Structure 1
Amino acid sequence: MSDLQSRFRRRLLLYYSLFTLGLLGFVAMMGLLEHSNADALWLGYVFLFVTIAIYACIGLICRTSDLNEYYVAGRRVPAMFNGMAIAADWMSAASFIGLAGILFASGYEGLAYVMGWTGGYCLVAFLLAPYLRKYGGYTIPDFLAARYGNGKPGGNMPVRAIAVLAASLCSFVYLVAQIQGVGLIVTRFIGVEFAVGVFFGLAGILVCSFLGGMRAVTWTQVAQYIMLIVAFLLTVSLIAWKHHGEVLPQVSYGSLLSQLDKQEQELRQAPAENQVREIFRRQAGALDERIARLPQSFFEDRAALDARLLELRERNAPLREIKTVERERATFPVDAADALQQWTLQRDEALARSQPATSSTEPYPAATEEERQSKRLNFVLLVFCLMLGTASLPHILTRLYTTPSVRESRNSVAWAVFFIALLYVSAPTLAALVKYEFFHHLVGTSYGDLPQWVVQWRKVDPPVFGIKDVNGDGIVQWAEVLIQPDMIVLAAPEIAGLPYVISGLIAAGALAAALSTADGLLLTIANALSHDVYYHMVDRQASHQRRVTTAKIVLLGVALFASYVTSLRPGNILFLVGAAFSLAASSFFPVLVLAIFWRRTTAAGAVAGMATGLAVAVYYIFVNYPFFTRITGIFGNRWFGVDPIASGAFGVPAGFAAAIIVSLITPRNAPVIDRLVSYLRRG
């Protein structure tokens, strides 16, 4: 058996080495075509379609109807390759697109994501990985149902049901973020509308996971990891080489941070910058006044806008003026409640833009000590939620079932940390390099001489980049630039003036990151619904073929529904991902830890822990996140000033408390559970 495994590893090394060399050769060939004046837009099409075709071919080659292969890739994935698959599964659109962006936008505060996500893998390796792999099974609800099942065939059904609900919810929120990232990539590089881009991305996701399940997803994810890491590292190195003469800026970008800090201090004192920030402060004050006079201000402003539009039409004003006012009227609030929400958001944005430039090096920059303490608290709690969420995400934990042994499972987590660190070390470097480009090649430029990339990115819908001459001096000020963090990585090659072939490569890398995670999430939801709901709760006599077919049908339905939800634009990518982590931590972390390390935990305690933790986290997001408050009109108070992305800070303690209290007041488990826990904890 070991000889077979050794030959299998060597064969995989050969295949993926050839894939890597082929990728580098393909990039070089595209560069030569661009140098010979090939159409840049055509290059973008080629990068996206060729890479998706490669993933589709791997999916077709790995198609299977075998239950063990479909659910857990036959439990024969070597540690190094499983580590690459975990890294690809992990490095979603949030990591690839969002991490450098949040570091760019918030400086030091963005390190919470690096610390939380990396620390979470230590928890996975030491707390959960060996025990889950030793148990086996197909899904996380499978493990929990067996642990709390008191020896019943199929395990405890209430535990399984609430676990399926929690796994589906947190995976679905995460999935929406990935599809949104795909939509953004396709919109920019192919030029279709966002909704069309979303459904185009859906096709790319399905070709990887529909036919082959975990087997196809695993080997596709290894190829996708190679794609995304080559794209990211090559982009960072080329930007640094072109503008700073360095090939490995990751080891020396401290001097660049010092330069950025000096420039940010200068921008805080610049008269033109202060003038722009003062205009935003006045706008915030005016909006405050309008909010205070609601509902009267709503009716007055609407009447004034209608009168202005009528006057322009009566005097036959230029069509441009009429269209501008018509757009303003179309976006005007429909009623006083809508006005309250719109104007509150506009006021908050104006207040944010009135603040001095964010420091790249100063911890918790804020105007007052109270604000600084609030930022510090949110930083710590976000790290806490991301760490526990990492150790609780079903689509990551399920990958632990695919290795041949417990030892390989541990080793695969170590490999995953290494592969993830390659990108995490480079993300702060890319953020610093791009901010340097902004300060030196955009800020201080005349509005008549804006770079071409500005024109292109202003057209993207949903809006991710805006620039407007607020103080009318004809010169770009830093305070006049509005940037969504999601655009930084995708736009980095254009901002740095690199060949368009690198833009195509970075888009292909971002697409690989989004598709790899989306595949894992879709498979997690579909497998939970087909295996845990259909097989264990509906039809225990279902054949292997019927169970696999059911999983494929469910996968297709979930993918279509997720694409529809994404088209509603529920929030930015990083928030959706952070919320998924809080939901996973709140529902799964307490019961997983107690399942392994406290024999006294009962089935009733597990149900109470999952339900309570999930309910608290969902409630806190529901009443504090703008997307939901706009829909429902329900506004809550932030407990201790904690951001909704860190709702797990309340959900996890609530889950532990509920599980422990209910377990203590309900009958002990059957002896069979003691034997199961002893088996899991034996070396």
Structure 2
Amino acid sequence: MDVRLWTFILVGLSFALYIGVAIWSRASSTKEFYVAGTGVSPLANGMATAADWMSAASFISMAGLISFMGYDGSVYLMGWTGGYVLLALLLAPYLRKFGAYTVPEFVGQRYYSQVARVVAVACAIFVSFTYVSGQMRGVGIVFSRFLEVDVTVGVIIGMGIVLFYAVLGGMKGITYTQVAQYCVLIFAYMVPAFFLAVMLSGTFIPQLGFGGADPESGAFLLDKLDGLHRELGFTAYTDGTKSMIDVFFITAALMVGTAGLPHVIIRFYTVPKVRDARVSVGWALLFIAILYTTAPAVAVFARANLLDTVAGQPYDAMPEWFSKWEDTGLITFDDRDADGNIRYVADPDENELTIDRDIMVLANPEISRLPNWVVGLVAAGGLAAALSTAAGLLLVISSAISHDL
């Protein structure tokens, strides 16, 4: 079967799973709609929190950023992970202890001010709408490339699925749907990583593979990538260009920003006790770490395969995936010297190839010639990551409007 058919099957099955879980766990009371009846186990809440946290930015974009930025991309890993630790230590247990339904309600009661509550509502809605637009871009990319439908149609389908289980199930339905989405997204992320680790380093564990050696040449993968970068005029992959002060402030900004994401904060209202909030934080950190420790390896594998496949190669010899991504506008080739070869170099005046960083994780299985079902699985995983976060954000918006205004 071709990639499109596999994608239809796997995406369709995953959507059916989400809808089925939402129907099974639909809310039957106000408390279940807003805080899942405060009856979610720490393990389930940890898994749902991980799915909520690992949006399309984590699944699709983070490894893409690292693959292009190299060592400098580590600020995103440190910032986003550090932000979660900040949330876990300073916010989550105390919010659960307070017992409010929403963050604006907590702010209003904590500061004895209806004005503060309204300001918190405005902030929550603004942040949520901004963030959900990024998730929908991820949905649009997947639908336009793998299912070959218009981006707008893809976004409408994705939002329709989210609205169905968000309205039907409220926080309870979203929580258990996010548990299912975490299972889908982590499986979809790890399977190609295992394949590539074996292919490029001879080891099954991606976290070890990206620092390993090529089974054929014996050269270390990172040394090979550094050499390719230097040949093409890029900074060596393992060399950083940012100063310590830049790294510090970028990491701090990412930490503070992600610690305050409203759709993650409300997850800690759903457990029975304050202690359960702390335990669920630990579970969530474990589940997040599985993907976050794999992302640098995926970035290295993707970058090495991309450079081997396209740099200096004839345009007419490019495989089918190249033209498919060209159709989406996320890869563009401008043959400036009319020699028919792809010149991919650091010098912008000589470079002929432009690649959107967001395609790296999604295109990686095709670039590496993995089985078609793996390509479809990654597409389903990208949708799971985007939809899980979008559902949490929509609940924040609806709760802010219906409960706090």
Q: Same fold (TM over 0.5)?
A: yes
Higher relative contact order, structure no. (Cα contacts within 8 Å, ≥ 6 residues apart): 2
Contact 1:445 1:476 in 2 (8 A): yes
Aligned length: 391
Counterpart-to-counterpart distance in 2, 1:116 and 1:91: 13
In structure 2, the partner of 1:260 is 225
Structure 1 unaligned segments of length 5 or more: list them: 1-37, 150-155, 269-356, 365-371, 534-683
In structure 1, the partner of 2:264 is 396
Question: 1:252 deviation in Å?
Answer: 3.5
* Aligned counterpart in structure 1 of residue 45 of structure 2, from 71, 74, 82: 82
* Aligned counterpart in structure 2 of residue 183 of structure 1, from 140, 161, 179: 140
Confirm or deny that 1:121 pairs with 2:78: no
* Aligned counterpart in structure 1 of residue 238 of structure 2, from 358, 361, 367: 361
In structure 2, the partner of 1:209 is 166
Confirm or deny that 1:438 pairs with 2:306: yes
Contact 1:106 1:359 in 2 (8 A): no
Structure 2 unaligned segments of length 5 or more: list them: 212-219, 346-351
* Aligned counterpart in structure 2 of residue 96 of structure 1, from 46, 59, 66: 59
Counterpart-to-counterpart distance in 2, 1:531 and 1:184: 34
Counterpart-to-counterpart distance in 2, 1:243 and 1:382: 32
Change over 3 Å in CA distance of 1:510–1:425 after alignment to 2: same
Question: 1:381 deviation in Å?
Answer: 2.3
* Aligned counterpart in structure 1 of residue 289 of structure 2, from 391, 412, 421: 421
In structure 1, the partner of 2:176 is 219
Contact 2:108 2:116 in 1 (8 A): yes
Give the percent of matched residue pairs that are identical in Structure 1 and Structure 2. Answer: 43
Contact 1:78 1:403 in 2 (8 A): yes
Question: 1:60 deviation in Å?
Answer: 1.4
Counterpart-to-counterpart distance in 1, 2:266 and 2:200: 43
Q: Which amino acid counterpart does residue 481 of structure 1 have in structure 2?
A: L
In structure 1, the partner of 2:359 is 487
Question: 1:464 deviation in Å?
Answer: 1.1
In structure 2, the partner of 1:297 is none
* Aligned counterpart in structure 2 of residue 478 of structure 1, from 344, 348, 352: 344
Counterpart-to-counterpart distance in 2, 1:40 and 1:231: 15
Counterpart-to-counterpart distance in 1, 2:326 and 2:133: 24
Counterpart-to-counterpart distance in 1, 2:188 and 2:48: 17
Write out aligned runs for 1:610-625 (5 A).
none
Counterpart-to-counterpart distance in 1, 2:8 and 2:104: 41
Question: 1:528 deviation in Å?
Answer: 1.0
In structure 2, the partner of 1:62 is 25
Counterpart-to-counterpart distance in 2, 1:417 and 1:65: 30
Question: 1:380 deviation in Å?
Answer: 2.7
Counterpart-to-counterpart distance in 1, 2:155 and 2:64: 21
Question: 1:459 deviation in Å?
Answer: 0.5
TM-score, normalization by structure 2 = 0.93
SS at match of 1:403: coil
Counterpart-to-counterpart distance in 1, 2:245 and 2:161: 40
Contact 1:171 1:525 in 2 (8 A): yes
In structure 1, the partner of 2:191 is 234
The CA deviation string for residues 344-374 of structure 1, in whole angstroms up to 9 with x for no partner, is xxxxxxxxxxxxx24321111xxxxxxx55x
Counterpart-to-counterpart distance in 2, 1:465 and 1:165: 38
Q: Which amino acid counterpart does residue 379 of structure 1 have in structure 2?
A: V
Counterpart-to-counterpart distance in 2, 1:489 and 1:206: 27
Aligned residues: CA RMSD: 1.4
Counterpart-to-counterpart distance in 2, 1:485 and 1:49: 26
Change over 3 Å in CA distance of 1:197–1:76 after alignment to 2: same
Counterpart-to-counterpart distance in 1, 2:366 and 2:336: 25
The CA deviation string for residues 111-133 of structure 1, in whole angstroms up to 9 with x for no partner, is 11110111112212221122111
Specify the structure having the higher radius of gyration (Cα).
Answer: 1
In structure 1, the partner of 2:100 is 137
Contact 2:198 2:209 in 1 (8 A): no
Confirm or deny that 1:112 pairs with 2:75: yes
Contact 2:174 2:392 in 1 (8 A): yes
Change over 3 Å in CA distance of 1:208–1:378 after alignment to 2: farther
Question: 1:475 deviation in Å?
Answer: 2.2
Confirm or deny that 1:522 pairs with 2:399: no
Contact 1:55 1:207 in 2 (8 A): no
In structure 2, the partner of 1:309 is none
